[in-house]
Amino acid sequence: MAAATGNIKKVTLELGGKSPCIVFADADFDVALEYAMFAIFAGQGEVCSAGSRLILERKIADKFLSRMAEASSKIVVGDGLDPKTEMGPLITRQHMEKVLHYIDLGRREGARTICGGSRLTNGVMEKGNFVAPTVFVDTQPGMKIVREEIFGPVQVVQLFDTEEEALHLANDTIYGLAGGVFTGDQGKGLRVLRGLRAGITWLNTYHPTFNEAPWGGYKQSGIGRELGTFGLDAYLETKQININLVPQRLNWFSGV
């Protein structure tokens, strides 16, 4: 943006986020569990719209997190070209070190991992940039692992008791790219999505992208939109044309 100020170039920015995946107790348990994992571990978390904050209703937290820890530890991590692989390596060694730094920071901040939390080096992963699927619990809103984008396979869990609290936690971020809600009550789901300050939202799903739909974020997740007819706006100059169909004197100036 700074470079564009010299000659006032228009820019469209689709930036990152710390997107919430909100799971209510009335959601289909197994569906919500799998999507909560998919939201963060698909693409090893290197996805701008990754659901990297799991905002979970407290009454189902123990069961949900137990199942999530067990299932996440069974994710097949390996060579991205192997059809059996479910999660591949991070893009560079430097980025892997950044992700591992955040994991260490989370522990020092007082959060606790219920799975993962380390580099993987066994077998084909010995020389690669592999990090185990990681889930943090016992987090606080002010922790850096909660507030900053990690861009890796690291999920942070926040618990809520009411719909209002869930929405407050979801919006308590400088970002606003995406967010998902899982509930058996469609009315409640739509109500929460309307209140979510994010540009891309999903109900009872996570990550689907359609070329026809506008893609972009609120707040520090960017400006402008890509995809759909909205995505054409950045490439257009809009002109106003006025035509006087019945020309008449203005009678504004007395000397005319």
Q: Are 84 and 74 in contact (CB under 8 A)?
A: no
Tell me how far apart the alpha carbons of residues 36 and 62 are, in angstroms, rounded to a whole number. 15
pTM here is: 0.92
Dihedral sign computed on CA atoms, order 135, 136, 141, 143? negative
Q: Say if 69 falls within a structural domain.
A: yes
Tell me how far apart the alpha carbons of residues 77 and 133 are, in angstroms, rounded to a whole number. 9
Is 14 one of the annotated active-site residues of the chain? yes
DSSP run (H or E) holding 93: helix 93-109
Q: Say if 250 falls within a structural domain.
A: no
CATH number of the domain that residue 132 is part of = 3.40.309.10
Number of domains in the chain: 1
Q: What is the mean pLDDT of residues 160-165?
A: 98
List the one residue out of 136, 150, 114 whose CA is nearest residue 54.
136
List the one residue out of 72, 167, 149, 79 whose CA is nearest residue 113.
72
Q: Say if 197 falls within a structural domain.
A: yes
Give me the percent of the chain exceeding a pLDDT of 90: 88
Tens of pLDDT, residues 170-179? 999 999 999 9
Eight-class DSSP state of 77? B
Q: Would you call 205 helix, strand, or coil by DSSP?
A: coil
Q: What is the pLDDT of residue 11?
A: 84
Give the domain range for residue 118: 14-235
Q: Say if 182 falls within a structural domain.
A: yes
Q: Are 100 and 91 in contact (CB under 8 A)?
A: no
Terminal-to-terminal C-alpha distance of the chain:
50
Q: What is the mean pLDDT of residues 37-66?
A: 98
Q: Are 106 and 137 in contact (CB under 8 A)?
A: no
- Residue 3 pLDDT grade (very low, low, confident, very high; cuts 50, 70, 90): confident
- Residue 76 pLDDT grade (very low, low, confident, very high; cuts 50, 70, 90): very high
Q: What is the pLDDT of residue 149?
A: 98
Tens of pLDDT, residues 96-112? 999 999 999 999 999 99
Q: Say if 245 falls within a structural domain.
A: no
Residue 13: pLDDT over 90: no
Q: Say if 3 falls within a structural domain.
A: no
Residue 1: pLDDT over 90: no
Q: Say if 169 falls within a structural domain.
A: yes
Tens of pLDDT, residues 179-223? 999 999 999 999 999 999 999 999 999 999 999 999 999 999 999
Residue 256: pLDDT over 90: no
Q: What is the pLDDT of residue 6?
A: 85
What are the C-alpha distances in Å from 49 to residues 19, 42, 87? Answer: 6, 11, 17
Burial class (CB in 10 A: 0-12, 13-18, 19+), 201: middle
Q: What is the pLDDT of residue 233?
A: 87
Q: Say if 240 falls within a structural domain.
A: no
